[in-house]
């Protein structure tokens, strides 16, 4: 291990420790956080940001590492949330000890996520590029429609599904225990990060990277891209359903919004905003986006905005409008996202070094 990577590992551990003791401190960041860090409201927001960061990390593994532009990632997040909620409800009357039921429900949800990912991935990966994006979009849309249709009152339709807390450990229920949920969210983020790191550093990860750069060449060498892509797809999707389970526990329920195509597009925005080139870009993007979204919503309802003339008030009171515009600007002028900023400042180049030089239009 070189000195640089050792520094990175130590820095990472220190960062995680710092995040872990946050609920015990009273840090107040006016304008960014709604209150001091020990209050349940702030912890709820931070935990949500961490979960979104974990989800963005899994999406980056597909899009950034393997170059798979999927528009259906929300499906697996929703599968985690709804899967756990539905299994917990199904086991509701069971006589087993609660801890056992909880574990079995989590395991069942993981199996569900795996089967769903393997099926969708095996089908969708038969096509590449834009067609792949559309096929995943179609599957996610089917899932979203299914959840809204509420078959057999299993998904709660537009109302969403409330968490059946009968078998959930009491430490994870209730406003006072928000900090436990925060630690769970942090744990999920660290777990996802480590698995993503492991996949990326493995041989399969290198092949996936090679496929992104030049699929034909990988075929010529004698490797079947399909298997590796499927592996990355399944890994990212199962991890997304883990994040989904965290979401269910944190929000005490699942809303149909998390299955929509818009939610996947939000993920795409997060990953590109943070920078596709680096893992930490996705994490920073997820946290920045969640905080921005929350603060912009608070700003939209503030008196300062309400006093503005219509032409300024209407766009500024729509957080998604500001985020969408910001996203377009980042794609146009800042191709490396937030993660690309240090390199751009260091080299002073207009173009991100990882980006190809402006090609002459054919």
Partner 1 sequence: MDTLVLLLITGLGLGALYFLVASGLSLIYGLMGVLNFAHGAFLTIAAFLGWEAGRRISDGTWTGLAISALVGILVGATVAVLTEVLIIRRLYERHIEQALVTVGISLAAVALFEGIWGTDPIYTDRPAWLTQTTEILGARIPNDRFLLIACAVLVLGGIVLFLRRTRYGLIIRAGVENRHMVTALGIDVRRSFTLVFAIGGAAAGLGGVLASVYYGYVSAHLGSVLLIFAFIVTVIGGLGSLTGAAIASVLVAVLQQFANFYLGGTGDLVVVVLLAAVLLIRPRGLMGKAA
Please tell me whether residue 24 binds partner 1 under the rule CB under 8 A: no
Total residues interacting with partner 1, rule: CB under 8 A: 45
Please tell me whether residue 308 binds partner 1 under the rule CB under 8 A: no
What minimum distance in Å lies between the beta carbon of 263 and partner 1?
Answer: 11
Residue 284 and residue 235: Cα distance in Å, rounded?
Answer: 21
Please, which residue, 214 or 325, has the CB nearer to partner 1?
Answer: 325
Q: How far apart are the first and last CA of the chain?
A: 45
Please, which residue, 159 or 262, has the CB nearer to partner 1?
Answer: 262
Stretches 161-169, 180-188, 280-288, 329-337: which one binds partner 1 (CB under 8 A)? 329-337
Q: Which of 314, 342, 347, 353 lies at the binding interface for partner 1 (CB under 8 A)?
A: 314
Residue 37 and residue 49: Cα distance in Å, rounded?
Answer: 14
Whether the CB-CB separation of 37 and 22 falls below 8 Å is answered with yes
Sort 310 into a burial class: Cβ within 10 Å, 0-12 / 13-18 / 19+. exposed
- CA dihedral (262, 77, 59, 294) in degrees, to 10, reads 60
Q: Which of 46, 246, 327, 339 lies at the binding interface for partner 1 (CB under 8 A)?
A: 327
Residue 61 and residue 117: Cα distance in Å, rounded?
Answer: 15
Whether the CB-CB separation of 113 and 107 falls below 8 Å is answered with no
Stretches 16-24, 42-50, 144-152, 239-247: which one binds partner 1 (CB under 8 A)? 144-152
Residue 108 and residue 165: Cα distance in Å, rounded?
Answer: 17
> Which residues between 263 and 292 bind partner 1 (CB under 8 A)?
265-266, 268-269, 272
> Which residues between 35 and 74 bind partner 1 (CB under 8 A)?
69
Q: Which of 110, 324, 343, 344 lies at the binding interface for partner 1 (CB under 8 A)?
A: 324
Whether the CB-CB separation of 335 and 355 falls below 8 Å is answered with yes
Please tell me whether residue 141 binds partner 1 under the rule CB under 8 A: yes
Can you tell me whether residue 162 is helix, strand or coil?
A: strand
Chain positions contacting partner 1, by CB under 8 A: 69, 123-124, 126-127, 129-131, 133-135, 137-139, 141-142, 145-146, 149, 261-262, 265-266, 268-269, 272, 314-315, 317-325, 327-328, 331-332, 335, 359, 361-362
């Amino acid at each position: 291990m070189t000195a640089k990577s050792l520094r990175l590992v130590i820095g990472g551990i220190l960062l995680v420790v710092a995040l872990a003791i946050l609920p015990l401190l009273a840090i107040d960041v006016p304008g960014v956080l709604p209150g001091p860090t020990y209050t349940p409201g702030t912890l709820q927001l931070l935990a949500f940001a961490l979960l979104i960061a974990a989800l963005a990390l899994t999406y980056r593994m597909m899009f950034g590492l393997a170059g798979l532009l999927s528009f259906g990632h929300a499906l697996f997040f929703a599968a985690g949330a709804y899967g756990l909620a539905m299994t917990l409800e199904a086991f509701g009357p069971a006589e087993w000890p609660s801890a056992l039921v909880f574990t079995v429900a989590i395991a069942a949800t993981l199996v569900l996520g795996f089967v769903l990912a393997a099926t969708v991935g095996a089908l969708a990966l038969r096509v590449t590029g834009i067609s792949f994006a559309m096929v995943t979009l179609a599957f996610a849309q089917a899932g979203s429609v299914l959840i809204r249709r509420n078959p057999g009152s299993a998904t709660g339709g537009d109302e969403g599904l409330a968490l059946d807390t009968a078998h959930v450990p009491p430490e994870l229920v209730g406003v006072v225990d928000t900090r436990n949920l925060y630690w769970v969210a942090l744990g999920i983020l660290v777990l996802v990060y480590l698995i993503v790191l492991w996949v990326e550093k493995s041989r399969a990860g290198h092949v996936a990277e090679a496929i992104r750069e030049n699929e034909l060449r990988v075929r010529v060498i004698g490797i079947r891209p399909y298997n590796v892509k499927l592996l990355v797809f399944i890994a990212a999707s199962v991890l997304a359903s883990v994040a989904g389970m965290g979401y269910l526990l944190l929000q005490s329920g699942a809303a149909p919004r998390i299955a929509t195509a818009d939610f996947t597009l939000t993920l795409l925005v997060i990953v590109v905003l943070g920078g596709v080139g680096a893992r930490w870009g996705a994490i920073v993007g997820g946290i920045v986006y969640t905080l921005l979204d929350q603060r912009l919503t608070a700003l939209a309802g503030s008196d300062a905005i309400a006093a503005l003339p219509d032409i300024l008030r209407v766009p500024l009171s729509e957080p998604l409008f500001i985020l969408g515009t910001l996203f377009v600007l980042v794609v146009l002028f800042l191709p490396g996202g937030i993660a690309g900023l240090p390199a751009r400042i260091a080299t002073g180049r207009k173009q991100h070094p990882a980006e190809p030089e402006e090609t002459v239009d054919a």
